[in-house]
Structure 1
Amino acid sequence: MELSSLFPVVDERATAKKVKKFFEKDFERLLRLADEQTSFFRSPNYDGMPKSPSTINGQEESAIKYITSDTAKAKSILKDIDVAINHCSKTNQIILFYRYIEFWPDWRVAQKVKYSTTRYNELKIAALVEFAERLCVQENRIDLREIQKASS
């Protein structure tokens, strides 16, 4: 049995384009609505050791009840973005974090992952697709994938 019969086939280039647009247009707005900075996001974990999830203390829980629904929704989406990035493969985490959270230019991220520009561009598309696939299974179910049309 082929996986394509179970799962939709993703148009990688179209998905990558849609995710880039999401980071360029919607991400900044989400940060503003949530009243957060990019420091909200965890940098990629290099030591290979698992991290325990942070817990919310009683005061934070009380404060959450009083925030507006828009703010709460934006914070929830930012949390989904953080989880999706940190569940990606290590190289993809680095690409996504430094390019779209820290806003490094592509050439600098390519140097960080130690790949040529051509290979980096291929890896960036793969990172954006993996992010889209991981984001759509998070709590808010934001689906940035572009599904290929079935050929008749």
Structure 2
Amino acid sequence: MMVAEQTELFEKSNDKEVIKCVKQFFSRYFMRLVLKSGKSLASLQSPKYDGMPKAPGVSEDRDGKLVEQADCQIIVESAMEAFQNCTSVASLVVWRSLVRHDLDVQIAMTLHLGHSQFARRKKSAMIEFYYAFTGRLESKGIVNDELDFTDYLRRKPDNSGTNLE
């Protein structure tokens, strides 16, 4: 008879790091990535969200800015797809607590959960989001185990070497 050593989907030892990564992603990067992608948070919340980019403004480095905008847009779209791939409760918990910054007590009341039940559910929701999000990123060729997107938010130097004289 074969005994499974680990029957859980996620490893307990990694949970704290995963939760930390998700919290840091939303506190440090998500809103800036949304704005740099040419979207607004309201458009992401809207049920009529169509995913179409807004028309870019006229600028001298339009191509470079479009590439940068597209990079940010891929990450934002991956996050939104991760929300869709999560259970409805996990999606609601992560969205309302880490994007909208609603109080935990408000979200717990919505779900009819006590404080300790909600605390456990919030942790599992962040873990669920993490795996859904990293899976979406990997499907688009972005491997990022720590959800660090500093490079996407930094102004990239112009290395075109063209001279307009």
Residues in 2 aligned to 1:33 and 1:55: alpha-carbon distance in whole angstroms = 14
| Runs of 5+ unmatched residues, structure 1 | 46-52, 146-152
Residue number in structure 2 paired with 1:24: 27
* Residue among 143, 146, 150 paired with 2:145: 143
Residues in 1 aligned to 2:44 and 2:108: alpha-carbon distance in whole angstroms = 21
Residue 94 of structure 1 deviates from its aligned partner by 1.0
Residue 55 of structure 1 deviates from its aligned partner by 7.6
Residue 135 of structure 1 deviates from its aligned partner by 0.9
Larger radius of gyration: 2
Residues in 2 aligned to 1:81 and 1:74: alpha-carbon distance in whole angstroms = 11
Identity among equivalent pairs (%): 16
Residues in 1 aligned to 2:10 and 2:88: alpha-carbon distance in whole angstroms = 25
Structure 1 residue ranges, 4+ long, deviating more than 3 angstroms after superposition: 1-4, 7-10, 53-56
Distance 1:129 1:144, change over 3 A: farther
Give the TM-score normalised by structure 2: 0.65
**Counterpart code for 1:118:** S
Q: How many residues align?
A: 133
Residues in 2 aligned to 1:3 and 1:35: alpha-carbon distance in whole angstroms = 47
Q: Do the aligned residues in 2 keep the contact of 1:136 with 1:144 (CA within 8 Å)?
A: no
Q: Do the aligned residues in 2 keep the contact of 1:30 with 1:74 (CA within 8 Å)?
A: yes
**Which has the higher relative contact order, 1 or 2, with Cα contacts under 8 A spaced 6 or more apart?**
1
Residues in 1 aligned to 2:40 and 2:5: alpha-carbon distance in whole angstroms = 39
Q: How large is the RMSD of aligned CA atoms in angstroms? A: 3.4
Residue number in structure 2 paired with 1:71: 69
Q: Do the aligned residues in 2 keep the contact of 1:99 with 1:106 (CA within 8 Å)?
A: yes
| Runs of 5+ unmatched residues, structure 2 | 57-61, 148-165
1:39 aligns with 2:39: no
Residues in 1 aligned to 2:85 and 2:5: alpha-carbon distance in whole angstroms = 21
